[in-house]
Amino acid sequence: MSAAESDHARGVLVDLGHVSLWADMEGPPDAEVVVLLAGADSPGFRWTRAVVDPLLAAGYRVLRFDHRDCGRSTRFTTDDAYGLADLAADTLGLLDHFDVARAHLVGRSMGGMVAQVIGLDDPQRVLTLTLISTTPGAGDERLPDPSDEFVEQMIGRIFEGPPADREGRERWIVDLHRILSGASHPFEAEAQLELARAELDTGWVAETGHGVAVHSSPSRLDRLQEIVAPTLVIHGTADPVYPPAHARALADGIPGSILVEVEGLGHEFPDALEAEIWPTLKLHLSTGARWPDID
């Protein structure tokens, strides 16, 4: 059994009433919780052991889960409209289920948007925010669009559609992550293939309602000054989805936030990046214990 296959076998299905979410909680029951919020169409195990294990070793409890409409969680039809606020409510429902009053939220891409919504609307539930490869407003005309090359590649994939056979679908998933990657780290083709196989084993579909949720939800650009949690923004200078101006808007808008730009990084979180940013992330998470309670 590969590392990815072993990792995706973890977890339980949590019934929240309105939705059931596949969730995996690891670590000491009395430790501070770090919630790893995955990007669009990505199951929770896309946060690999390279991210989880240092957090556990530092004494944190770690929660990963499959968003609604993804992986092993409840699927929705095209008639079931939902937005980032619904995904935020799902996250809070999981925290309630595990009896967690406040948590560190680490979100990548769409997961970073969900973290922002919670930071704005439920600040009392947040210890710190870490926003990776994300934006305060997808489709906000004040922020730059994705690169033309990326748009052309994605349109081509949409018209082509995924192959019918399993091996072709594995390659199709790997190719997407190749498109998203930059030049700062070697592309981990074998690791991506393992993850692609695990996704296919856990109910993968080519596209969920996450994209609609991202683009139909209100921009947060004009509300960023309301975020009070200590915030770390991490972004690649070669991100083809959200150019660096999106990260700079987050950092400029959120009081006291810290921006880390990674030269050549794309819209990705390769395992090698964790070792590079871990000292900064560890220091950032430690500020949560010193942050005043919010009534």
- The two structure tokens encoding residue 88: 């935020």
pLDDT digit string (tens) for 56-80? Answer: 999 999 999 999 999 999 999 877 8
Q: Per-residue pLDDT tens for 237-280?
A: 999 999 999 999 999 999 999 999 999 999 999 999 999 999 99
Residue 187 has pLDDT above 70, yes or no: yes
* Cβ contact 9:201 at 8 Å: no
Please report the pLDDT score of residue 80 as a whole number.
80
Residue 293, pLDDT above cutoff 90: no
Residue 287 is predicted with a pLDDT of: 85
Q: What is the pLDDT of residues 129-138, one digit of tens each?
A: 999 999 999 9
In a domain, 214, yes or no: yes
Its domain, for residue 44, covers 3-290
Indicate whether 295 belongs to any domain.
no
Give whole-number Cα distances, 72 to 94, 206, 230, 279, in Å.
15, 14, 32, 33
141-173 burial by CB neighbour count: b if 16+ within 10 A, else e?
eebeebeeebeebbeebeeeebeeeeeebbbbb
Task: CATH number of the domain at 46, please.
Answer: 3.40.50.1820
Query: In the chain, where does DSSP find H-type helix?
Result: 3-8, 49-57, 84-97, 110-121, 148-160, 166-180, 189-201, 210-216, 244-253, 271-286
pLDDT digits (tens, 9 = 90+) for 140-176: 999 999 988 899 999 999 899 999 999 999 999 999 9
pLDDT of residue 142: 98
Q: What average pLDDT does this structure show over 190-215?
A: 94
Q: Which residues contact 152 (CB under 8 A, 6 or more apart)?
A: none
**Stretch 85-109: mean pLDDT:** 98
pLDDT tens, position by position, 19-41: 999 999 999 999 999 999 999 99
* Plot region of 270 (φ>0 → left; ψ -120 to 50 → alpha; else → beta): beta
Q: Look at residue 234 and give its three-state secondary structure.
A: strand
Closest CA to 233 of 246, 220, 243: 246
Nearest to 102 by CA among 51, 50, 60, 41: 60
* Amino acid 140: pLDDT: 97
Model pLDDT, residue 4: 66
Q: How confident is the model at residue 81, as a pLDDT?
A: 87
State the total domains in the chain: 1
Pull the structure tokens for residue 142: 């004040």
Q: What are phi and psi of 63, to 5 degrees?
A: -115, 120
Condensed to tens digits (0 to 9), the pLDDT of residues 205-238 reads: 888 999 999 999 999 999 999 999 999 999 999 9
